[in-house]
Structure 1
Amino acid sequence: MNITLVTVGKLKEKYLKDAISEYSKRLSRYCKLDIIELQDEKTPENASDKEESLIKEKEGQKILGCIKDNMYVIALDLKGSMISSEEFSELIGDLGIRGNSNIVFVIGGSLGLSKDVLSRADYKLCFSKMTFPHQLFRVMLLEQIYRGFRIMKGEPYHK
Structure 2
Amino acid sequence: MRILLACVGRLKAGAERDLVARYLERARASGRALGFGDVQMLEIAESSARRAEDRMAEEGAALLAACPPGTFLVALDPRGRNLPSEELSARMARERDDGRPAICLVIGGADGLSDAVRSKASLLLAFGAATFPHQLVRVMLAEQIYRAMTILSGHPYHRA
- What is the TM-score with the length of structure 1 in the denominator? 0.90
Helix, strand or coil at the partner of 1:3:
strand
The equivalent residue for 1:34 is 40
2:105 is aligned with what amino acid?
F
In structure 1, C-alpha distance between the alignment counterparts of 2:89 and 2:69, rounded to whole Å? 23
For 2:86, the equivalent position in structure 1 comes to 86
Which amino acid in structure 2 is aligned with residue 35 of structure 1?
M
Say if 2:25 and 2:39, in contact at 8 Å, map to a contact too.
no
Spell out, residue by residue over 1:6-40, the C-alpha distance to the aligned partner (whole angstroms, 9 max, x if none): 10011014111111121122112213112110111
Structure 1: segments with no counterpart, 5+ residues: 45-50
Aligned twin of 2:108: 108
Pairwise CA distance, 1:41 = 2.2
**Whole-angstrom CA distance in 2 between matches of 1:18 and 1:138:** 11
- Point out 4+ residue stretches in structure 1 off by more than 3 angstroms: none
Q: What residue ranges of structure 2 are gaps of 5+ in the alignment? A: none
CA distance in 1 between counterparts of 2:89 and 2:64 reads: 25
Deviations 1:32-74 (A, max 9, x none): 1121101112476xxxxxx211111111111122122221111
Identity among equivalent pairs (%): 37
TM-score normalised by structure 2 residue count: 0.89
Kindly report the root-mean-square deviation, in angstroms, between the aligned alpha carbons of the 2 structures. 1.5
Q: What is the aligned residue count?
A: 153
Query: Within 5 A, what are the aligned runs for 1:41-120?
Result: 41-42=47-48, 51-120=51-120
